[in-house]
Structure formats: structure tokens, C-alpha cells
């Protein structure tokens, strides 16, 4: 890393001890279809760590984002439950089990929703900017951002290089789902790039269409607010609307239908409301910065939106290789879909920018609707910024082995809805997280540590 002037850091969410299938995410087909299936938190954490290690071994900069304290007793108290922590959990299980399930969600594992990040090359003050996502479309996710903000601040603490913004107002008009609806196109990670914000609806401009079946979680107004907070210039920002029809088919975030990296945008033909105009604006703005957009568009007659949602083809990591071409990291479900796998073989033989495909077993995450792209947050860093961040969160062979041992020591290998009512689960989670903050050198970031 010392030889590089800039890089893209992948930060993967470490799956939490309460990973379960609560069916909490309306609009996410996999989440709904696997509701109340028994989960395996230990296997889920190991699958995520295996992907992190594989990318680290390939030379990619890789870091770890700590999970949240769950169940969230503070959230349950805010909903009227009283008594000791154990009594709060017991009462919630007896009187409002769906609320207890929501308070136990391990959804922070999908780090693409943690925040929106703009690198220093793009911002007015020359610092890396982070805005934690309010995630206010779903209760179980709306309770994440206070802890997310503390964890990110502990990872990127040096104010000379990093600026942190609080989540946007927690109202529907400013629904913000983070980097799942944001990507960045650039010639080089250290150079100025074009920041691409995709929204599902406008809160105030009712002339724009909106989905009819499933909610549009990202608003235009939220994306615009983040761009202002980060000090982004108008000539290097593009706002585009998701195609409402694909949202209603289960494309709840843009990263389920499109992924970008460097100068490449890999997307489905129906991803955007006006795909031709979007590609044209992206291409024009990138060209003014010395780049050249390479659009890899998958036609609807080759793959339908249903295949994209079932396989999570586009919810993949698109990573730059040393030779200038790209690696596509896909979930194993892509191999299991004959049409998708056949398309990928054709893609590899096309001599285009994507030269390699690797499939990973992420079944525990996929059953809840999260693939490789959901599991990671990308942060473009200059060499001095990378050196200024907390080194304790950077994945190394030693940290990988230590985290595996930590998972095996603290995680259950089976979790059902009934198990969430066990007050002992909270004690197990707190014990595990208390140890994790020491392993990652985060300091006190959890509510139970701040009392």
C-alpha cells in the first residue's frame, strides 16, 4: 500500500450475533420469502469473513465494520417497555413479538447502507466526507445510525482528513439509504470523479413518477442534501431516477440493478427511468474530467429483471485489477441461474472491461436479500488518508484468524424467532461486542459501554 498514491478501501460489515430472518424488509423479495426460517449467525459471519479474506489475499485494501448491539433495548424502552433489560425483552416478546424481532435485526451487516462517502478529490474542503444514512423507511434500520456514526468516527477520527455528518432529518421526505444508491465514476481513485446519486422518488416534485407496489426508499431531496453537505460541485454530480417499474419488481436499491467502478457502469437496460439520458450525462461529465464512460448494459431480452433480482447479478463488487480490467465478485446464486451464468460467460468472452468473475457462497446473507455489494462500503482514499485511519480495523491474516476465533467463541449456530426472546442473547451480544471493540481498537462505541 505504501507504493500507492490512492486506493479504494472496501469496508465489509461483520455479521452480528443476532443474525435472523425476520422478514422485516417489505419490497425485498428474499427477505419476505425467507421470513422465520432458522438462521445460522456463526456461518453467516464466517461466510462474510471468507469473502473479505479472499479479496485481501488478492491485494485489495479491506477493513471491517463492527456490528450493532442487539436487541436494541433502548429502542424498546422508547416504545413503552419498562423494567430491567431482561424484563423489557420478556415483555416485548409477550406483547409485541414483531417489535422485538425488529429490535434484534442484524441488518447493519449490509454496510452499503451505513453511509454515503465522498472522497477528498471531490469535496470543497479537500476532506473525505461521511454522512450516516437515516434508513427511516424501516424501523429496524432507522435505529442504526447513532451507533454507525460512532463506529465510523472511531475508524476515521483525524479531523484533518475526515468530516462526519449526522443523518438527515428522520422524515419520509429525506429517506436516505446510503451508498446502495450512490456510486462514483472516475479515471483514478485519487482524481476528481463524477458522483452518481440514484433516487426512487421525489418528495416534493409530484410530477415525477413513483412506484405503486413497493416503497421508494431514497428520495431526490435526500440525495441533493448529501451532495450539499459534502460540498460537491454541480458539474461533477448526476442525479437519476430509478425506473419505478423495477422497484415494483423487488429492486429496492439501485445496487440491485446497477454497479459502477472506475469508468465502468454495469447495469440492466431497465435500471433507470431514462437510461439513455443518464448514460449521456454521466459520459459528458466524466469526459470533462478526462475520463471515458464504458457502459456495460444488459438488454432485457437477454436477462429479465426477475433474473437480476433472483441471482443478484448486479449486487456484485466490481473491482479494478492491476492490468486495468475488472473483476466481478458475484454471489453463488449467479452460478445457479443458467441464464445468468451463460450471460457471464458471454461477457467474459467479449473482450470488454470485465475480465474475470468469482462466485462466493453468501447464502446466509442472500436469504435476507443482501449480496456482495450490500456487504461493503467503498471509501476512496489518498495514501496519507489511509495512513491516518484506525489501523485496528484493517484486515490482516492475523486479524482474520482472531475474528474467526471470536465468532466461534461467541456466536450461536442456530437462531429462531423463539430464541430472540431469550434475555441471555443480549448478554452474549454485549460480551462479544465488548471484546470486539478491544480487538478493533474502537474505544467505547456501544450504548452499554457509554452508560
Residue 25 reports pLDDT greater than 60: no
Q: Dump pLDDT digits (tens) for 96-128.
A: 999 999 999 999 999 999 999 999 999 999 999
Annotation marks residue 374 as catalytic: yes
Query: Architecture of 7-70+105-449 per CATH?
Result: 5-stranded Propeller (3.75)
Domain extents for the chain? 7-70+105-449
Residue 28 reports pLDDT greater than 80: no
pLDDT of residue 38: 83
Annotation marks residue 165 as catalytic: no
Please tell me the distance from the alpha carbon of residue 247 to that of residue 212, in angstroms, as a whole number: 9
Confidence bin at 24 (pLDDT 50/70/90): low
Q: Dump pLDDT digits (tens) for 411-437.
A: 999 999 899 999 999 999 999 999 999
pLDDT of residue 2: 39
Mean pLDDT value across the chain: 94
Q: Is 329 annotated among the ligand-binding residues? A: no
Q: Which of these is catalytic: 144, 374, 385, 429?
A: 374
Q: Is 29 annotated among the ligand-binding residues? A: yes
pLDDT of residue 37: 76
Q: Which of these is catalytic: 8, 43, 177, 417?
A: 177
Q: Dump pLDDT digits (tens) for 192-238.
A: 999 999 999 999 999 999 999 999 999 999 999 999 999 999 999 99
Q: Is 74 annotated among the ligand-binding residues? A: no
pLDDT of residue 141: 95
- The share of the chain scoring above pLDDT 70, in percent, equals 96
Q: Dump pLDDT digits (tens) for 243-259.
A: 999 999 999 899 999 99
Angle made by CA atoms 65, 118, 323, in degrees to the nearest 5: 80
pLDDT of residue 451: 80
Strand boundaries in 346-449, DSSP class E: 354-360, 376-382
133: Cβ–Cβ under 8 A, 6 or more apart, which residues? 113, 114, 115, 116, 144, 145, 148, 167, 176, 177, 178
Q: Is 301 annotated among the ligand-binding residues? A: no
pLDDT of residue 228: 98
Predicted TM-score (pTM) above 0.85: yes
Sheet with 128-132, edge to edge strand ranges = 115-118, 128-132, 162-165
pLDDT of residue 26: 47
Q: Which of these is catalytic: 19, 253, 267, 410?
A: 253
pLDDT of residue 4: 63
**Quick one: which of 211, 233, 11 has its CA closest to 109?**
11
Q: Is 140 annotated among the ligand-binding residues? A: yes
Residue 306 reports pLDDT greater than 80: yes
Annotation marks residue 384 as catalytic: no
Q: Dump pLDDT digits (tens) for 153-191.
A: 999 999 999 999 999 999 999 999 999 999 999 999 999
Amino acid at each position: 500500500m505504501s507504493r500507492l498514491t490512492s486506493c479504494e478501501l472496501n469496508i465489509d460489515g461483520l455479521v452480528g450475533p443476532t443474525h435472523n430472518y425476520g422478514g422485516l424488509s417489505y419490497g425485498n423479495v428474499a427477505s419476505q420469502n425467507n421470513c422465520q426460517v432458522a438462521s445460522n449467525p456463526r456461518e453467516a459471519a464466517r461466510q462474510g469473513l471468507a469473502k473479505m479474506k479472499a479479496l485481501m489475499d488478492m491485494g485489495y485494501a479491506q477493513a471491517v465494520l463492527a456490528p450493532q448491539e442487539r436487541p436494541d433495548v433502548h429502542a424498546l424502552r422508547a416504545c413503552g417497555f419498562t423494567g430491567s433489560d431482561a424484563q423489557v425483552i420478556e415483555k416485548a416478546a409477550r406483547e409485541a413479538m414483531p417489535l422485538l424481532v425488529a429490535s434484534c435485526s442484524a441488518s447493519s451487516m449490509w454496510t452499503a447502507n451505513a453511509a454515503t462517502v465522498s472522497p477528498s478529490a471531490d469535496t470543497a474542503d479537500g476532506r473525505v466526507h461521511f454522512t450516516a444514512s437515516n434508513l427511516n423507511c424501516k424501523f429496524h434500520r432507522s435505529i442504526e445510525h447513532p451507533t454507525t456514526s460512532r463506529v465510523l468516527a472511531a475508524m476515521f477520527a483525524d479531523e484533518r482528513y475526515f468530516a462526519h455528518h449526522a443523518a438527515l432529518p428522520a422524515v419520509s421526505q429525506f429517506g436516505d439509504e446510503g451508498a446502495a444508491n450512490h456510486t462514483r465514476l472516475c479515471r483514478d481513485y485519487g482524481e476528481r470523479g463524477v458522483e452518481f446519486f440514484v433516487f426512487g422518488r421525489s418528495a416534493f416534485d409530484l410530477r415525477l413518477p413513483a412506484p405503486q407496489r413497493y416503497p421508494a426508499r431514497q428520495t431526490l431531496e435526500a440525495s441533493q442534501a448529501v451532495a450539499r453537505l459534502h460540498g460537491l460541485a454541480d458539474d461533477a454530480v448526476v442525479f437519476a431516477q430509478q425506473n419505478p417499474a423495477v422497484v415494483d419488481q423487488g429492486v429496492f436499491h439501485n445496487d440491485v440493478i446497477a454497479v459502477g467502478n472506475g469508468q465502468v457502469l454495469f447495469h440492466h437496460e431497465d435500471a433507470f427511468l431514462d437510461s439513455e439520458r443518464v448514460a449521456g450525462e454521466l459520459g459528458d461529465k466524466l469526459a470533462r474530467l478526462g475520463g471515458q464512460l464504458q457502459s456495460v448494459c444488459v438488454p432485457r431480452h437477454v436477462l429479465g429483471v426477475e433474473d437480476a433480482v433472483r441471482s443478484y447479478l448486479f449486487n456484485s463488487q466490481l473491482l479494478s485489477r492491476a492490468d486495468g480490467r475488472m473483476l466481478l465478485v458475484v454471489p453463488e446464486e449467479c452460478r445457479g441461474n443458467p441464464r445468468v451464468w451463460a450471460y457471464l460467460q458471454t461477457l467474459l468472452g467479449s473482450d470488454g472491461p470485465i475480465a474475470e468473475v468469482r462466485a462466493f457462497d453468501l447464502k446466509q446473507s442472500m436469504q435476507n436479500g443482501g449480496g456482495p455489494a450490500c456487504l461493503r462500503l467503498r471509501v476512496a482514499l489518498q495514501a496519507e488518508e489511509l495512513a491516518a485511519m484506525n489501523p485496528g480495523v484493517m484486515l490482516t491474516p492475523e486479524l482474520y484468524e482472531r475474528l474467526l476465533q471470536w465468532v466461534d467463541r461467541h456466536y450461536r449456530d442456530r437462531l429462531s424467532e423463539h430464541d430472540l426472546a431469550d434475555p441471555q442473547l443480549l448478554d452474549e451480544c454485549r460480551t462479544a461486542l465488548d471484546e470486539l471493540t478491544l480487538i478493533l481498537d474502537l474505544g467505547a462505541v456501544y450504548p452499554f459501554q457509554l452508560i
